[in-house]
Amino acid sequence: MPVQYYIFLSIALFCIGVMGVLMRRNAIIIFMCIELMLNAVNLLMVAFSKMWADAGRIDAAAAQIFVFFIMVVAAAEVAVGLAIIVMVYRNTHAVDINILNRLKN
Amino acid sequence: MSTQQIIFLVLSVISLVCAMGVILSKNPVSSVLCLILTFFTIAGHYVMLNAQFLAVVHIIVYAGAIMVLFLFVIMLMNLNADIEPQKRNWLKYAGAISGGTLLVILVAALRDASMPSLQSGATEIGLIGNLGKTLFNHYVVPFEVSSVLFLSAMVGAVVIGKKEH
Amino acid sequence: MINLVWLVPFLPLLGFLINGLGRRYLSKSQVGIVGSGVILAAFVVSLLIFLEVRQPGFSAQTITLFDFISAGSLHIPFAFQVDQLSALFLLIITGVGSLIHIYSTAYMHDESNESFARYFAYLNLFVFSMLILVLGANYVLMFIGWEGVGLCSYLLIGFWFKNTAYNNAAKKAFVMNRIGDLGFLLGIFLMIVNFNSVTFSHVFGGAKAMGLNNVAVAAIAILLFVGAMGKSAQIPLYTWLPDAMAGPTPVSALIHAATMVTAGIYMVARSNVLYSLVPHIQTVVAIIGLVTALLAASIALKQNDIKKVLAYSTVSQLGYMFLALGVGAYTAAVFHVMTHAFFKALLFLGSGSVIHAMGGEQDIRKMGGLKKYMPTTHWTFLVGCLAIAGIPGLSGFFSKDEILAHTFAANKVMYVLALAGALMTAFYMFRLYYITFSGSFRGTHEQEHHLHESPAAMTIPLVVLALLSILGGYLGLPEVFGVKHLLASYLSPVFAGSAAIATPHHLEHSMEWILMGLSTVLVIVFILIARGRYAKYTDSGKENTGLAKVLENKWYVDELYDAVIVKPLGMLSRFFQDKLERNGIDRLVNGAGRAVTWGSQQARRLQNGQVGFYVFAMVIGIIVLFVIGLLL
Residue C211 lies in a domain: no
> Do residues C581 and C432 both lie within one domain?
no
Count of domains forming chain C:
2
Query: What is the pLDDT at residue B9?
Result: 93
Q: What is the dihedral of CA C567, C307, C311, C158, to 10 degrees?
A: -50
Name the nearest CA neighbour of B74 among A37, A38, A39, A27.
Answer: A27
Name the nearest CA neighbour of B22 among A42, A78, A13.
Answer: A13
**For C545, left (φ over 0), alpha (ψ -120 to 50), or beta?**
beta
Query: What is the pLDDT at residue C604?
Result: 86
> Do residues C495 and C571 both lie within one domain?
no
B-C C-beta contacts closer than 8 Å: 23
Mean pLDDT throughout A3-28?
Answer: 91
Query: Is C609–A25 a contact, with Cβ atoms under 8 angstroms apart?
Result: no
Query: What is the pLDDT at residue B109?
Result: 84
| pLDDT by 10s per residue, chain B, length 165 | 788 889 999 999 999 999 999 998 888 889 999 999 999 999 999 998 888 899 999 999 988 889 988 988 888 888 777 777 777 788 888 889 989 999 998 888 888 878 888 887 777 788 888 888 888 999 999 999 999 999 999 999 888 878 765
First to last CA, chain A: 53
Residue C201 lies in a domain: no
Task: Give dist(CA C308, CA C302) in Å, integer.
Answer: 10
Query: Is B85–A98 a contact, with Cβ atoms under 8 angstroms apart?
Result: yes
**Which residues in chain C have their CB less than 8 angstroms from residue A29's CB?**
none
**Which residues in chain C have their CB less than 8 angstroms from residue A25's CB?**
612
First to last CA, chain C: 83
> Do residues C392 and C433 both lie within one domain?
yes
- In whole angstroms, what separates CA C75 from the centre of its chain? 29
Q: What is the pLDDT of residues C35-63, one digit of tens each?
A: 999 999 999 999 999 988 888 888 888 88
Distance from CA of A13 to the nearest CA of C (A): 15
Query: What is the pLDDT at residue A105?
Result: 52
Query: Is B98–A65 a contact, with Cβ atoms under 8 angstroms apart?
Result: no
Q: Which ipTM was obtained for this model?
A: 0.90
**For C444, left (φ over 0), alpha (ψ -120 to 50), or beta?**
beta
Query: What is the pLDDT at residue C541?
Result: 67
Residue in chain C lying closest to A26 (CA): C612
**Which residues in chain A have their CB less than 8 angstroms from residue C606's CB?**
none
Write out residues 39-78 of A within 8 Å (CB-CB) of B: 39, 42-43, 46-47, 49-51, 53-55, 59-62, 64-65, 67-69, 71-78
Q: What is the pLDDT of residues C135-165, one digit of tens each?
A: 998 899 999 999 999 999 999 998 988 888 8
A-C C-beta contacts closer than 8 Å: 26
Write out residues 588-617 of C within 8 Å (CB-CB) of A: 607-612, 614-616
Distance from CA of C580 to the nearest CA of B (A): 50
> Do residues C484 and C619 both lie within one domain?
no
Residue by residue, DSSP assigns B18-63 as HHHHHHH-SSHHHHHHHHHHHHHHHHHHHHHTT-HHHHHHHIIIII
> Do residues C426 and C365 both lie within one domain?
yes
Mean pLDDT throughout A48-60?
Answer: 85
Query: What residue type is A39 in one-letter code?
Result: N
Query: What is the pLDDT at residue C504?
Result: 65
**Which residues in chain A have their CB less than 8 angstroms from residue C612's CB?**
22, 25, 97-98
- The answer to whether the Cα torsion of C371, C375, C381, C384 is positive or negative is positive
Q: How confident is the model at residue C235 (pLDDT cuts 50, 70, 90)?
A: confident
Residue C281 pLDDT exceeds 80:
yes
DSSP C65: E
Query: What is the pLDDT at residue C495?
Result: 84
**Which residues in chain C have their CB less than 8 angstroms from residue B101's CB?**
623
Residue C128 pLDDT exceeds 80:
yes
> Do residues C352 and C403 both lie within one domain?
yes
Burial of A89 (0-12, 13-18, 19+ CB in 10 A): middle
Query: What is the pLDDT at residue B164?
Result: 66
Residue A70 pLDDT exceeds 70:
yes
> Do residues C584 and C486 both lie within one domain?
no
Residue C140 lies in a domain: no
Residue by residue, DSSP assigns C273-304 as HHHHH-HHHHHHHHHHHHHHHHHHHHHHTT--
Name the nearest CA neighbour of C331 among C536, C569, C504, C112.
Answer: C504
Query: What is the pLDDT at residue A102?
Result: 65
Query: Which one of B101, B104, B112 makes the best mutation probe of the C interface by having the most chain C beta carbons within 10 Å?
Result: B101
Query: What is the pLDDT at residue A104?
Result: 57
Mean pLDDT throughout C317-339?
Answer: 90
> Do residues C470 and C592 both lie within one domain?
no
Query: Is B105–C630 a contact, with Cβ atoms under 8 angstroms apart?
Result: yes
> Lowest-pLDDT range, A84-98, B18-32, C346-360, C471-485?
C471-485
Nearest to A21 among C607, C609, C615 (CB): C615
Looking at C498, C514, C541, the residue that finishes a domain is: C541
Largest Cα–Cα distance in chain A?
55
Looking at C541, C571, C589, the residue that finishes a domain is: C541
**Count of C-beta atoms within a 10 Å radius of residue C211:** 9
Residue by residue, DSSP assigns C69-115 as EEETTEEEEEEEEESHHHHHHHHHHHHHHHHHHHHHHHHTTTS-HHH
> Do residues C482 and C600 both lie within one domain?
no
Q: Are C349 and C461 in contact (CB under 8 A)?
A: yes
> Do residues C340 and C425 both lie within one domain?
yes
List the helix and strand counts (H, then E) for chain C: 27, 2
Task: Give dist(CA C535, CA A9) in Å, integer.
Answer: 124
Query: What is the pLDDT at residue A103?
Result: 57
Residue C142 lies in a domain: no
Q: Are C488 and C381 in contact (CB under 8 A)?
A: no
Residue C311 lies in a domain: no
- HSE-CB at C193 with a 13 A cutoff on CA atoms is 10
Domains in chain A, CATH or no CATH each: 3-92 (1.10.287.3510)
Nearest to B98 among C623, C627, C630 (CB): C623
Query: Is A68–B131 a contact, with Cβ atoms under 8 angstroms apart?
Result: yes
Q: What is the pLDDT of residues C185-211, one digit of tens each?
A: 999 999 998 888 888 888 888 888 888
Chain A within 8 Å of C577 (Cβ-Cβ)? Answer: no
> Do residues C462 and C503 both lie within one domain?
yes
Residue C436 lies in a domain: yes
* Domain ranges, residue C599: 560-631
Chain mean pLDDT for chain C? 87
Residue C114 lies in a domain: no
Burial of C622 (0-12, 13-18, 19+ CB in 10 A): middle
Query: What is the pLDDT at residue C593?
Result: 93
Mean pLDDT throughout C345-361?
Answer: 87
> Do residues C488 and C591 both lie within one domain?
no
Q: What is the pLDDT of residues C501-543, one digit of tens each?
A: 777 667 777 888 888 888 889 889 988 888 888 877 777 666 7
Residue C439 pLDDT exceeds 90:
no
Residue C323 lies in a domain: no
Q: Are C224 and C187 in contact (CB under 8 A)?
A: yes
- B15 phi and psi angles, rounded to 5 deg: -65, -40
Nearest to A64 among B91, B96, B131 (CB): B131
Looking at C496, C511, C541, the residue that finishes a domain is: C541
